Structure formats: C-alpha cells, structure tokens
A and B are shown apart, each in its own frame.
Chain A
Amino acid sequence: MITLIVVIVIVAVLALMIVSVYNRLVRSRNAVDNAWAQIDVQLKRRYDLIPNLVETVKGYAAHERQTLEAVTAARSTAINAQGPADRAAAENALTGALKNLFAVAESYPDLKASRNFAELQEELATTENRIAYSRQYYNDAVLTYNNAIQTVPANIVAGMTGFTARVYFQAPGEERGTVQVRF
C-alpha cells in the first residue's frame, strides 16, 4: 500500500515536471515566432519603400539601368526567400544592392537634393536600424529556445513532444552578431 502511494506520488511529481517544462518550451517557442513576426514587419516595410526609391532615382539617373535592375532583382529574391538562413542571405544581398544605388546617387547632385530621395533615404536607414534590432532580438530568442530544448532534462520532453531547433537569422558563414548598415 505504501509502495503504491509512493509510486503515485512520484508519477504525479514527474507529470507536473513534464507539464511545467512543456509549458516553458511552448512559451519560448512562441517568443521566437513573435520575434520573427516583428522582423517580417520591418522587412516588408523595406520592400514597400524600394519601388518608390527606384522610381525616384529613375527620374534623375535613368541610364543607371544595371544598378536599378540589381535592386529590383534583389528585392524579388528577398521577398521569395524562405527560411531564416536563406532570407538573411537574400536580405544581405538586397542591402548590398541598395548601398550600390546610394553610392551611384552621389554622382547626381539633383537627385541628392531631391526632398523625396532624402526622405526615402532616411526612412530606409531607419528601417535598416529597426531590422538590425529586430534581428538581434530574434536571434536572442532563438538562442534561449535552442538552449531550452537541448539541455537536460528539457531535451527529453522536447524530443517527446516534437520541439526542434530553430535557425538563426543570419546568412551562412556570417558571425552571429550585430550588423551595422549605414548609407
């Protein structure tokens, strides 16, 4: 009888522990999803600004077709990219294309003096900054989540309930750290 009671108590404690760990993992995973959604918002903001930017530059430097097409192509690639790693690589490529575009714009004083261009440039710089912070926050959330599902004993619960590691928002070969982009 006593043995039975002890067994029941042990099972109950184990069950409570499993439930507690499971809930913690769920919260951690939701934090990652939420952080990714925030990145998505900032990235979409950037995508929306780019067509306006391309049109503005075309009005002053129409023959810089190659640079403008590179930006448009990079934007399409970024929109269609799937998964954090691919998306990070595509976003880095888009950032590089934009930097080239702004470098080209230096040669056109009328374009630089354009108020619309200046506002777009500032808005893009602000968006880049927000993306950088969102990215940092997302990667921190992923680290916390991956640690949670890979450390003992939570990894046992994670394995039983289908939690898998998440990928950082960084291009392959890129150090996981802050990327400051300045135009």
Chain B
Amino acid sequence: MTLWIGAAVAAGVWLLLLFSMAMATKTPDVKPGPATGALGEESPALVDLITGGWRLTGEAASATVLDLAAKGALAIEEVGPEFSLVRLRREPGDLKPYEKLVYDHVRSLAVDGVVATGALAEGSRDIGRWRKSFRKKVIVEARALGLSRMRWSKAQAALLWVTAAGVAVMVGIAAEASGFAADTPDSEGSPGVAAGFFCLLLLGGLMSRLNGERGTKLGAETAGRWLGVQKHLADTGRFGEQPAASVTIWGRHLAYAAALGLAPRAVTSLPITTTADANRAWSDYGGMWHPVQVRYRSRRFWGRKPLTLIGHGLLAGMMIGVWVFIGLGFATAYDLWPQALLVPTPLLIAGTIAAIPIAFTIIDYSGNTVIEGQIVRLRVFGESSGDSPSNPSYYCAIDEGRSREVDAFGLSAEHYGPLSEGDRVRAVAGRKLGWIRNIEVLERARPRGTTYDDTGEHKIDAPEHLGEVKVIPGRTRNEDTEDEGGVRPADLVTPADIKQALGLDVGPAEAYTDTPVLPAVVRIRSIRYRTATGTTVDVHAGTGRRSRTLMVLPSALSRAQGRQIKGLGINAMLHPGIVSVVTDQGTFMIHVTSASGPPSSDKMMDLAHTAAERMSRLPQGRR
C-alpha cells in the first residue's frame, strides 16, 4: 500500500510539473488590434496558423490557391453555376515551399493547363501525408520569422520524459510488489513491467497531447494585428457569398478572407485538402474535366461472381418460398387463399427469385460487353472499417464518356491490384450482374500529385500530438559493409536489370551517401545507380524482421497512396517510383527518382520480380 501511495504521489507531482510547464510555455495572450485594411507581409497560410491558435486549418491550402491566383500564377474562371476552372498562367517564379506544393498539385492535375475546381480533390497523393507536409512547410516559415516555436524545448521534453519514466518505475515496483505477483503465473511475464510500461505510455500520451506549436511574443502581436484585419474585412466585405472566381476582383483580400474564416463559399469550392468523394468523381476522359456520379449498387444482385449470385438467388428463393408457404398456410386455414394454390404459389415465387440471377448470367455471358474508358474510382469495401477490411469487395467505376452517371462494377482482387485511378482500360463485363470478367490496361494514368520535393522540412520536429513521422539523421554507410548476414543490394539489382526493365543506362553501383533511410539498428544496406542525366535508382535491402520496416517508407517518400501487388513475395507495395517487397529471405525497396517523373507501374514491377527471384536464389551465406 505504501508503495502505491508513493507512486500516486509521484504521479501527482509529475502532473503538477506538467501543468506548471504548460502554463509557463503557453502562447502569450493575443489581443485583437484595431480594425485595419492594411494587409501585412505574412502569407494567408501563415495568417491561418497564427490566428487559429497555432493550428493550421483546412482553409490554409484553399487560401493559398486564392493567393496564387491573386498573384497571377493561377487564374480561377467561372464557367457555370458553382463550376469554375483553375488555369495555370505564367511561370510562378519563386514560390515558398508550401505554395509550390499547392502549385505542383494543381499542375499535376491540369489538362491543357486547366483543372476544374472540384477536381482538386482528385489525384493519387496520400492526402494525410500531403496535409502534414503542407503544415510542416508553413511551420518552418513561421519559425524562421520568429512567429512560432515548439512548445517545449529538448531540455524540457527530456525532463518530462525522465520524470515520467521515474513515475512509471515506481508504479511498476508497486505493481510487482503488491498482490499482482501472487495472482499471476510466472509464465505470463512480469505484471510490474507491464504496469510500468502502460503508465509510461499514459503519461507520454498526456505530454504529447499538450505539446505542439505555440506562439512567440512577436507571433502574438502579429496575430493581434491580423485579427484587426479580420474585423475590417468582416465589416466591409461580403466575402461569405463570394465564389472563388471573384479573386479576379478582390485579389489578395479574398485569399486573406479565406484564411481568416470569412469566405466559406470560396474555400468549399477549392477542395484541395479534401479526400476524394467515393460517389462524386471528376474525370478528364475525353480531354476535359467533367463530374461523374458513381453508384455503388446493393450487392444483393450486383458486383459479385455469377456463381455466387446464383447461389445467393437459390438460397433467397428457398427462404422466401418457405416464408410465403407458411404465410399462405395460415391464409388457407382461414379460407383467405385457395388450397389448390398453397404449394404452387410459393414455388412460383421462389423459382422466379432464383431465376433472376440465372437469367442475368445467361444474358451477360451470351454477349461480350466491352467497356472502354478511364477508371475514375477504385474502392474496397468490407465488413469492418480500417485499412484492411475483412471480406473485402472490390469496385471499379469506368467513365466511358457517354454518361455522367456510372455504376461501379465488382471485380476480383487479382484484377483490382494492378489498377490505378486514371488508367485507360478495356474491360469485359456483364451489365446485368455488374461483374468484370477481364480487364486490360490500355494506357497507364499519367502521374498526378505524386512525389513532392520535401527535402529538409520533414526533418523538423513539429509534432501535432502523436503519430508524426520523424526522419532521424544518421551517419552514412558503405554498401560493402562486411558485417554478418544481410543481403547485398547489388546482388538483387544489376545495371543490366535496370536497362532491361526501365530502359535506363546506369553506371556501376555506388555507395548510398544520402541520409540513411532507417536507423542503423535496422541494418539495411543501400546502393545507388545513376544515369548520365541524373536519374537515380536506389536499392535498399535487408534481412530479418526489422528489415520489414522498409515497407512503411514508400508512403513517406512518395507522399502518395500505394497499392498492394498480389503474387509477389509475401507482401508487396507499389508507390509512384517506389516498389517494396517482403520475401521469406528478406525485404527490399527500389526507389527511382527522375526529373521526368516515375517510371510506369509495369516497369517497376518487372524490376521487382527480377529482384525477388534473385533474392530467393541467393547463396545461403548471403541471407
């Protein structure tokens, strides 16, 4: 009991320490300044940060689009009710990193220099990573201008962690020494360690919740001045009703109004940080952006394999037939239904229901319906939410250019894996049952919103509570390290393989001298191949379970959503320009960086297959 009291007191003292540090490091009070129409030097994204309690909102990116339009790098043109175009204008010149991120995204989507505003949500980027990248870039600038800083310094954070560890140790000792040990068999491990670990996690979580970005004195003064601008804009301009295209008239005032929360209509029409809607897609098939409504029909008689649907139809017919028979039995007992029809009626109903999918199957298979168009949506739905739904159903919606409403067809996982939104395809499908029997990619999607130049910013420590990705700088390593075990990347991918798969002439393997992709403890070997034009092919490989950490890097490096590849190793993921594969022998990742964009998926997969096969044939000593 004494130990528990001691642990409780220690926890209380730690909480007091945390609270006092939080109070000491909170942002200075922001006093709104007098109303003024004079705009400052800070960009709308910065203004969004400092006037929003040092938390960036979704308006910041939309405000940046408006600001780029006001400065002439883009143009927003209204061509219909709630339908506007974003047009690339002159070369943007020097842009700030977050402005470049936004501009590059618009440029990646543009067809003939134009993208519909609604289509800003499209593209293959990883939206979560994109938002994080945008936020970090804004914070870098805010810190450089002295407007913002991390809440706790390294020393303060270290003090909190060390004291939290002390509390966790006391809790662990108390748990170990108390009756827990008596009740827990030895084979289940130490309850004290578990209790201490849990306590540390809890305290660390609490500390992280209070951590984040905070304002400096200068930042608070600047925020106050901008709140005065907000008051002036709110009193004098009716920005709430203005569409995005009115930036032609209002200029930068509209961009700042958006950042200050005064232009919701303009912000809503620029969904640059919004996840693409599963039901409303934008397609550029045919050369012009247009909206396409995607319907996901009920899976009762749609989107499944024909045999499955026939089985379901038989089962449904049988069950309904039984219930109808029971119901009619009661009706017959009260002379409400003729006795002679008691059996034939449910048989007829059951037969009709069972015959529907059979008839549809015959119709679908008797004619070869070919659908040619562009994939606008690929979705996986399952019985549980999350990244890996159980019993997943795969859907593919194809815009044929003939209708603004399309039905999403069902297809198998094997067909779904290699597809990307934006691919031009030819599919053999049944329009009655909605099942794609075969699909062929005619032309791969052009890269959209893929790799963003993010050197430098992602190394800053700018946590927004838990879950931030930090790249840990470390010493460089020679790829010929003679430590035991491991796999040599040069044995997996040779210049001849790169030439065959990617068509690139590379020199001999060089040591990888960039910042190591993972800490030394993970024991990954890396090499680089280089072409005369500057294209690089990095190969990273390792053995053991830790090497599987390579699988999480491609998302961070490419800032895009990857897709799983079936039939390659135990697990394989393909991102734009990056393929990572886990095999029984180890894990490897191949990263191609080129000024002209990433290679096509087919080429990356060819190279990955070669490397995987070579990994399986490595001599035993090299594994």
Contact = CB atoms under 8 A, between A and B. Distances in A.
B290 interface: yes
Contacts of B288: 132-133, 136, 178, 180
A133 to B, nearest CB: 4
A140 B291 CA distance: 10
A129 B286 contact: no
Contacts of B81: 31, 34-35, 38
Given A133-B85, A140-B404, A38 B286 contact: no
B404 A38 contact: no
Interface string A172-183: 000001101000
Given A140-B404, A178-B287, A38 B80 contact: yes
Contacts, number: 47
A28 to B, nearest CB: 12
B286 A130 contact: no
A130 B80 contact: no
Nearest to B401: A177
Contacts of B207: none
B77 interface: yes
A73 B509 CA distance: 68
A130 B286 CA distance: 16
A145 to B, nearest CB: 13
Given A132-B288, A177-B286, A180-B287, A137 B401 contact: no
Interface in B556-609: none
Contacts of B289: 133
Interface in B402-445: 404
A93 B524 CA distance: 66
A134 B287 contact: no
Given A126-B87, A177-B401, A133 B79 contact: yes
A130 B85 contact: yes
Interface string B349-369: 000000000000000000000
A31 B79 CA distance: 13
A43 to B, nearest CB: 12
Contacts of B87: 126, 129
Given A38-B79, A129-B112, A177-B401, A140 B290 contact: yes
A140 B80 CA distance: 11
Contacts of B80: 34-35, 38, 133-134, 137-138, 141
B398 to A, nearest CB: 17
Interface string A33-47: 011001000100000
Given A178-B286, A178-B288, A130 B404 contact: no
Nearest to B77: A130
Interface of B: 77-81, 83, 85, 87, 112, 114, 116, 286-290, 401, 404
Given A133-B289, A137-B83, 11 more contacts: A35-B80, A38-B80, A42-B79, A126-B87, A129-B112, A130-B79, A133-B80, A134-B80, A178-B286, A178-B288, A180-B288
23 contacts: A31-B81, A34-B80, A35-B81, A38-B80, A38-B81, A42-B79, A129-B112, A129-B114, A130-B77, A132-B288, A133-B80, A133-B83, A133-B116, A133-B288, A133-B289, A134-B79, A136-B288, A136-B290, A137-B80, A140-B290, A177-B286, A178-B288, A180-B112
